[in-house]
Amino acid sequence: MFFTKSPSPPLDLGTDVATLTATLCDLESVSGGEERIADAIEAALRPLSHLQVTRDGHAVIARTNLGLIERVVLAGHIDTVPLTEPPNLPVRRDGDNLVGRGTCDMKGGVAVALRLASLLSQPNRDVTYVFYDCEEIENERNGLARVGRNNPELLRADFAVLLEPTDGVIEGGCNGTLRVEVTAKGKAAHSARPWNGHNAIHEAMTILGRLVAYEPETITVDGLDYREAMSAVGIRGGIAGNVIPDECVVTVNYRFAPNKSGAQALDHVCELFEGYGVKLTDTADGARPGLHLPAARAFVEALATPVRAKAGWTDVALFSELSIPAVNFGPGDPNWAHHAQEHCPVQQLVDAEAALLRWLAAEPA
Amino acid sequence: MFFTKSPSPPLDLGTDVATLTATLCDLESVSGGEERIADAIEAALRPLSHLQVTRDGHAVIARTNLGLIERVVLAGHIDTVPLTEPPNLPVRRDGDNLVGRGTCDMKGGVAVALRLASLLSQPNRDVTYVFYDCEEIENERNGLARVGRNNPELLRADFAVLLEPTDGVIEGGCNGTLRVEVTAKGKAAHSARPWNGHNAIHEAMTILGRLVAYEPETITVDGLDYREAMSAVGIRGGIAGNVIPDECVVTVNYRFAPNKSGAQALDHVCELFEGYGVKLTDTADGARPGLHLPAARAFVEALATPVRAKAGWTDVALFSELSIPAVNFGPGDPNWAHHAQEHCPVQQLVDAEAALLRWLAAEPA
């Protein structure tokens, strides 16, 4: 018998949440490369008779169907940003922390959800577990959005919890995000005689100057404070080593408070870079906190932990589009997401599992 | 019979120099892709019984061996910088000009040399014609330097003329050139929380700022004025669309007057970018004019055209290393070299051919 690829190792959902987190992280799954981890998750969930399992591309959806009056979603993405060089995997234990790519953003949350899926054969609310691909890249490839397009009924719920890292507190809503390419134009010439051309990279200094001088705002929406951010995330220019380049492109990421629509945010960026070409490449609206809605209020009361605003964009915004109130709650300090020294305290993994178990295992109020 | 590649079209060296220039340009030969044009040149020269032809990689060397007391080199590179998008080929005639990639830098000069090679079966000095590859890229791949390493005897001469574009005047010496990578370092973080990192692209604004503020000098060497230049020719940075990048690299090209060595020029660049990592990637010393030497003086007197300094680096510097006095003299305004609208006046092609014919066809003084 021949294998065309190495099979996924089996996942043991009966192990402790820290060990499961490390196993999931070591199943490297940079966006676009989620097949093996999705296979492993699917294989671990299929044998559980209390769950109905659906596969959609490299997303896995598992649902209880107990006919309860309330249904909640627990969701997490299974992809990560690229590894560092040298690679920040495999995961290592450093004192009270797990260290390595994915420990914080967000295989810790995925491990918690998988543990709950395994333990809760009789939850007090029907639960839909969603493990999905391509969250860390262009919004149009987002696996959760794809599941919503392919089979919106699968996501139907009264409330959703995204297990993104929140340092163990509840984070309401989220900032929106957009990416634009800002282009400085020049005129090509031989670099021995630059006076005959106009150097687009030198011209891009003005674009960078506006970025550096920009002072992002903090905006209060429904009682929570949203801190905005505007950053260059890419720059490219150059034709050959002896040519004055005629184009330099700066990729800018704007994280905007949920009081603005994506269109308003784009207007703001266009204004900042007036005089330069601005091309939108990717946008996702934010989400207002929505904590006044009953199912969200019940969750906040059950967990009794602090509530704050979410700086990063998360897929609560997609639930928001589906009119499902959603919050972020998960292990890991989001300040370490995408960081070379990404890590997660083991205690937060244990605490998040326990908190969600208390919420879903007790009798509903 | 099967061909693994399309054969080169035959070159007609009996046609007029403008037609020959256009034919050579349409044999597209961006650096690294010179095989077909070298094959065509070799095939055109082999049948000429007054020439001894040698092939070295994609360079073709053809020599008369008349036992004359003086030997001169006529040399030109057969590669070009990349085409524009859409391509600035095939060549078109626009009024008095040929327009298209290579017309100026420097297939016009190559056409003139090929015409002389064909016409001068009994020149007044022995002549070595050198057509070589990879001049427009990293110096270590330069075809003329390779020929000099493989077979220095082939280049031995009393004087050399490089047919680089000079607008029909004689240009003495040349600026040196060096390229460095200047690196801004930062600290990666999630772009939703840039305050946890340090944006290397934003940091690179300082590097661009120093470049833009830099005022290049004009330096007089042996009576000719050399205008220096310092330019960004490339920039790159960015990890992913949602990551604050920890590195941004600016490629800088410094064109320095021949009063400086490459080492002195590098010191100057390191000083300008103090505080940033500077890595040398490519360097080539300039050449002093050398017009006081007898063979050079004879050439200048024979042509009776003005003499000025060469801003661009050319391979006269390689002849300078071999202690062979060398000048640039060729058709085309060098200001249009590498330009999207690169072109060459047809009259300059005709005049250059006529001037060199007068020099080499007359009895030596």
User: For the residues of B279-306, what is the DSSP string, one character each?
Assistant: EEEEEE--B---TTSHHHHHHHHHH---
Structure tokens at A13: 């959902």
Dist. CA B72–CA B63, nearest whole Å? 10
Most confident by average pLDDT, A316-325, B311-320, B328-337? B328-337
Alpha helices in chain A (DSSP H): 17-26, 35-45, 107-119, 143-150, 200-213, 262-272, 294-303, 316-321, 346-361
Q: Considering the candidates A126, A135, A246, A247, report the single residue annotated as catalytic.
A: A135
Which residue in chain A is spatially nearest to B281 when comparing CA positions? A241
Helix axes A346-361, A107-119, angle to 10 degrees: 40
Which pLDDT value is given to residue A255? 96
**pLDDT tens digit string along B64-99?**
999 999 999 999 999 999 999 999 999 999 999 999
Are B252 and B281 in contact, with CB atoms under 8 Å apart? no
Are A82 and A322 in contact, with CB atoms under 8 Å apart? no
B15-32 b/e with 16+ CB inside 10 Å = b? eebbebbbbbbbbbbbbe
Nearest to A85 by CA among B246, B244, B281: B246
Nearest to B77 by CA among B11, B31, B22, B15: B31
Query: Is A309 strand, coil or helix?
Result: strand
**pLDDT tens digit string along B106-151?**
999 999 999 999 999 999 999 999 999 999 998 889 999 999 999 9
Are B329 and B163 in contact, with CB atoms under 8 Å apart? yes
Tell me the one-letter amino acid at A60.
V
Which pLDDT value is given to residue A295? 82
> Residue ranges of chain A with pLDDT lower than 70?
1-8, 362-365
Q: What percent of chain B has pLDDT over 90?
A: 79
Place of tokens 């900032």: A175
Contacts of B278 (CB under 8 A, 6+ apart): B180, B181, B182, B183, B269, B270
Nearest to A115 by CA among A163, A172, A168: A163
- Give contacts of A234 with chain B, Cβ < 8 Å: 201, 237-238, 241, 245
CB contact under 8 A, B248 and A235: yes
What is the average pLDDT across B335-364?
Answer: 90
Would you call B311 an interface residue with chain A, using a CB distance cutoff of 8 Å?
A: yes
ipTM > 0.95?
no
Structure tokens at A120: 């809760």
**pLDDT tens digit string along B155-182?**
999 999 999 999 989 999 889 999 999 9
Alpha helices in B27-107 (DSSP H): 35-45
Dist. CA A8–CA A37, nearest whole Å? 7
Are B98 and B346 in contact, with CB atoms under 8 Å apart? yes
Query: Is A181 strand, coil or helix?
Result: strand
Our CA dihedral for B361, B362, B364, B365, rounded to 10 degrees, sits at -160
Residue window 206-265, chain B: list those with CB within 8 Å of chain A: 208-209, 211-212, 229, 231-246, 248, 250-251, 253, 255
- Give contacts of B84 with chain A, Cβ < 8 Å: 188
Work out the pLDDT band at B7, boundaries 50, 70, 90: low
Q: What number of other Cβ atoms are within 10 A of residue A292's Cβ?
A: 11
A332-347 b/e with 16+ CB inside 10 Å = b? bbbbbbbbeebbbbbe
Which pLDDT value is given to residue A320? 86
Q: How many Cβ pairs closer than 8 A exist between chain A and B?
A: 212
Dist. CA B325–CA B172, nearest whole Å? 10
Least trusted range by pLDDT, from A159-163, B117-121, B314-318, B353-357: B314-318
Dist. CA A210–CA A212, nearest whole Å? 6
* Maximal C-alpha separation, chain B: 79
When the pLDDT of each residue in chain B is averaged and rounded to a whole number, the result is 93
